[in-house]
Structure 1
């Protein structure tokens, strides 16, 4: 198979193509399949799909109310890259074998972030209330700020939220990966499994519950 070098320095199949799909306005995203996802905050909702020409027809997208769902036909071999323009987003749910990234800061009053499968990457957030659920097996980095965060992690990937400045954090972790967080002034953390929570921010109020061989330690 021939490959070509993109402007970003990544190699893609030489027979790849990009389609701009028509989508209705949405505030919920649900994606499942072999995708790399790039979220582009802006003034309008949009979708661009880049993949091999033989794979493009197998990438399915549909709007149901205010939800945009994207998947692949069963049995599809290969992957695709999704560039998704978002506006007024309230939920991002990914069950993918690939990466997720944001082109710039994702702003929201209330955001539910649900990650499953093998989802890795880096996200930049600016939200008042973040509900975060992760069962991913890959490493993830979340940066930015949040007024309040309620999180539950059950996957074995390592999660670095040390650059997500959270004022009030409640976190539950029951896996074997490592988690880094920042909280000030309030932190409540529950640890199960054999992993480790490292916290930063010198929180004034700390409530810890440890079950099993896990650790909760202050970062230096």
Structure 2
């Protein structure tokens, strides 16, 4: 069978894709948005969101021309709101949309939809993350306090983000991995999972459903239930006295109220 016609057809098809994304949706473009200062981010819709802690502050939106043109980036009350003007985003269309943000500090992040989110370079302070839908989140760095609330079927791998104290709530079938050093407060509402690495000194758990809360070994990925050391019962004074008795001593008469077993 002659494969040349097939290869030629494939080459023609690929050549028509260069510089365009989605045919009539227009060429790939990138826009730098001028917005006011902000320390929180809210994203509605499906997109790839790349966040970097640093300076100078910048917001860049990339994708096919039509989708970029419909993407709003407005700051209100210290929060950057990212959404589609027409509210017609779909997973298929918005895999072509990428939003890259650089900012000095991230206090809160709220995302909704089928998003792929990465946060790099967090350092110090507190950060709150709230996600709903089929969201995938990764983050690295160091924080004093981290609060996470995940609803839906999303996943947040925060194992590379060292935090002193972590508070995590999962509603639904999603999963979260955190790396607390001092304390963990974990609440599971549903059949999802909360895993933690490291050895926090204090672990509080609440389980409402058939989910999992467990410690995960950072090397092999294995998990185990949180360990609670059993409280040791107080020593029996009588048993201690028995141990001190001379084993050669004769038994005491029952009328005296004590028996020494030889």
TM range (shorter): 0.7 to 0.9
Q: What residue ranges of structure 2 are gaps of 5+ in the alignment?
A: 1-12, 218-262
CA contact (8 A) 1:20 1:47 kept: yes
Q: Which residue of 2 aligns with 1:94?
A: 111
Larger radius of gyration: 2
Q: Which residue of 2 aligns with 1:151?
A: 148
Cα offsets for 1:3-50 (capped at 9, x unmatched)? 338xxxxx9568212222322333333332343222243322222222
Q: Structure 2 CA distance, aligned partners of 1:69 and 1:45?
A: 15
Report SS of the residue matched to 1:152: strand
Q: TM-score, normalised by structure 2?
A: 0.62
CA contact (8 A) 2:113 2:132 kept: no
Q: Which residue of 2 aligns with 1:59?
A: 71
CA contact (8 A) 1:23 1:45 kept: no
Q: Structure 1 CA distance, aligned partners of 2:81 and 2:135?
A: 22
Q: TM-score, normalised by structure 1?
A: 0.72
Q: Which residue of 1 aligns with 2:35?
A: 23
When the two chains are superposed, the root-mean-square deviation of aligned CA atoms in Å is 2.8
Q: Does 1:192 align with 2:222?
A: no
More strand by share: 1
Q: Which residue of 2 aligns with 1:4?
A: 18
More helix by share: 2
CA contact (8 A) 2:109 2:128 kept: no
CA spacing shift, 1:64–1:214, aligned 2, 3 Å: closer
For residue 215 of structure 1, report the CA deviation from its aligned partner.
2.3
Cα offsets for 1:156-203 (capped at 9, x unmatched)? 223222222222222222322333222222222222212222222122
Aligned 1:121-136 pairs, distance under 5 A: 125-136=122-133
Question: Greater relative contact order: 1 or 2 (C-alpha under 8 angstroms, separation 6 or more)?
Answer: 1
Q: Which residue of 1 aligns with 2:214?
A: 217
CA spacing shift, 1:4–1:205, aligned 2, 3 Å: same
